[in-house]
Every structure is written in structure tokens, then in C-alpha cells.
């Protein structure tokens, strides 16, 4: 068995990663394969909350056959490196939806790397990622969409937003389109911002303590990402974990 050489930052997929941290877990196991048959529906999710200092890398290879639908909810908050990658291939009329949130502080590196191939016509994909980064955390979204020559009527959407709580935090967002068909819709939006100072003052003027105001605005920023998780207990688990991480982050005096 041949072992791949360690990745370097020269490779696009690893450009913003913590490659030193990867060395300790190299070589990586094969990606987790998810196969969604024709006309089937699948809902997957991952709550990545590895311990402080851990290296957590999760790779998925997802294939959705004609008319199938696959949704994936992801909360990426743990470890010194938390990296989740998706290599997705969509058949005719197939759908893939990724709803993700990354919340990081300290010196965490959190990444979502996707490569979605619309191999056949009429496929749809939607990726919504919200990141909140404080202190020296780095959050990266790299999202490649490839539309094959025959994949007409493809509809692909990427909405990526990041919120920086400190000047020392970093957000990278890079949607990348490679389109070989001529009748497709590919929309992408990226925004990196800070907490709205006007809103913070408005909330303070009503008596809200600065930390509570920040925490509420941050909750609002990621609100909705996990709304579609069908299993109520699971939805609650994701929301609770996100909230706990946010409160830990807001409590560390970020922002203002």
C-alpha cells in the first residue's frame, strides 16, 4: 500500500490548514462513503466537538444517484484542527444540501472543504455555511462546484458568511466554479463582517449587558442553520452545542 505524502500548503485544498497538526494523524483513513440510491432520501449530520488540542479530520465521499436527495448538517467546533471535507457527485436531478456552522476561538483551525460535481442534468445543490471566529482562530471554507458538459439546468447555490470577533481572527472563503455546461445557475455569496455596532448600542440602550447582547447577535447569526434537522432531539443537541460554544467565546471578552 502506498502512503500519500503529507499535504503541504501549496496544495489548494490545504492552503489555509494546519498541516503540522496533520502529521500526527497521517495517513488519513479512506473517506466515509455515503451512497444515496436513485430516488432515495438521506439525512446525515456530524457534530465535530473533539477535545481541545485534538486533530479531527472527517472526509466524506457522497454519491447521489438520479432523483436522490442528501442533506448534511455540520457543526464544526472542536479540536485544534477541525477539518471536514466532502467530495460529492450528483446524478440526474439529484440534490445535495450542506448546512454548516463553524465556531472557533483560541488558536483553532476549522475548515470545511467541498467539491460538488454536477455530473448530469437537473441537479441542485445548496451550501450554507456560517462561521464565527474569535481570538486567533482561522476558519476556512473552500467550495468547488464543477458542472459537467451535459449537466444542463444545474442549480447550485453557495452562501458563506463569517463573523470576526477579534482583529486577530481570520476567515477565508473561496467559492470556485468550473462550468462546462451553458444553461446553469450558480449563485454564490460570501461576506465577512463584525458584530453590528449600532445594534450593540441599541441593545445596551435597552439595558442589555454587553456580553448578553453579543451572545444574542451571534445566536441570530447562526440561527436557522440546523432548523431542518428532522429529529427534534438531534436538532436540540446541535443548537445546544453551538450555543455553549458561543457563550464560551462571547465570555472571553471578544468584540466591542
Partner 1 sequence: MSLLRIENLTNTVADKPILKGLSLTLNAGEIHAIMGPNGAGKSTLAYTLGGRPGYEVTGGSVEFDGQDLFDMEPHERAAAGLFLGFQYPVEIPGVSNLQFLRESLNSQRKARGLDPLSGGEFIKLAKEKAGLLGLDMEMLKRPVNVGFSGGEKKRNEMVQMGILDPKLAILDETDSGLDIDALRVVGEGINAIMRKPDKAVLLITHYQRLLDYVKPDFVHVLAGGRIVKSGGADLALELEREGYAEVLA
Q: Does 253 bind partner 1 (CB under 8 A)?
A: no
Instruction: Count residues binding partner 1 (CB under 8 A).
Output: 23
Per DSSP, the residues of the chain read -PPPPPP-TTSGGGTTS-HHHHHTTPSPPPPEEEEE-TT-EEEEEEEE-PPTT-EEEEEEEEEE-TT-EEEEEEEE--SSEEEEEEEEEE-TT-EEEEEEEEEE-TT-EEEEEEEEEE-STT-EEEEEEEEEE-TT-EEEEEEEEEE-TT-TT-EEEEEEEEEESSTT-EEEEEEEEEE--SS-EEEEEEEEE---HHHHHHHHHTT--HHHHHHHHHHHHHTTTTTT-SSHHHHHHHHHHHHHHHHHHHTTT---
Mask for 138-167, x = binds partner 1 (CB under 8 A): ------------------------------
Minimum CB separation of residue 128 from partner 1 in Å reads 14
Nearer to partner 1, 219 or 252 (CB): 219
Residues 186-215 that bind partner 1 (CB under 8 A): 196-199, 201-210, 212-213
Minimum CB separation of residue 132 from partner 1 in Å reads 13
* One of 47, 177, 216, 243 touching partner 1 (CB under 8 A): 216
Minimum CB separation of residue 203 from partner 1 in Å reads 7
Minimum CB separation of residue 191 from partner 1 in Å reads 13
Residue ranges binding partner 1 (CB under 8 A): 196-199, 201-210, 212-213, 216-217, 219-221, 223-224
Amino acid at each position: 500500500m502506498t502512503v500519500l505524502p503529507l499535504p503541504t500548503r501549496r496544495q489548494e485544498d490545504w492552503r489555509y490548514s494546519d498541516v503540522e497538526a496533520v502529521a500526527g494523524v497521517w495517513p488519513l483513513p479512506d473517506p466515509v462513503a455515503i451512497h444515496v440510491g436513485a430516488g432515495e432520501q438521506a439525512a446525515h449530520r456530524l457534530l465535530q466537538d473533539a477535545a481541545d488540542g485534538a486533530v479531527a479530520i472527517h472526509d466524506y465521499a457522497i454519491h447521489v444517484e438520479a432523483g436522490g436527495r442528501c442533506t448534511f448538517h455540520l457543526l464544526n467546533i472542536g479540536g485544534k484542527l477541525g477539518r471536514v471535507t466532502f467530495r460529492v457527485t450528483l446524478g440526474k436531478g439529484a440534490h445535495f444540501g450542506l448546512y454548516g456552522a463553524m465556531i472557533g476561538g483560541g488558536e483553532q483551525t476549522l475548515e470545511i472543504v467541498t467539491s460538488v460535481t454536477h455530473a448530469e442534468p437537473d441537479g441542485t445543490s445548496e451550501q450554507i455555511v456560517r462561521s464565527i471566529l474569535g481570538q486567533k482562530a482561522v476558519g476556512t471554507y473552500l467550495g468547488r462546484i464543477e458542472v459537467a458538459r451535459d449537466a444542463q439546468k444545474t442549480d447550485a447555490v453557495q452562501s458563506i458568511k463569517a463573523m470576526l470577533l477579534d482583529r486577530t481572527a481570520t476567515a477565508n472563503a473561496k467559492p470556485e466554479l468550473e462550468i462546462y455546461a451553458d444553461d446553469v445557475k450558480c449563485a454564490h455569496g460570501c461576506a465577512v463582517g463584525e458584530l453590528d455596532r449600532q445594534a450593540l448600542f441599541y441593545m445596551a440602550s435597552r439595558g442589555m449587558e454587553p456580553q448578553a447582547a453579543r451572545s444574542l447577535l451571534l445566536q441570530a447569526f447562526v440561527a436557522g442553520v440546523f432548523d431542518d434537522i428532522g429529529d427534534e432531539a438531534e436538532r436540540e443537541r446541535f443548537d445546544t452545542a453551538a450555543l455553549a460554544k458561543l457563550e464560551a467565546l462571547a465570555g472571553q471578552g471578544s468584540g466591542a
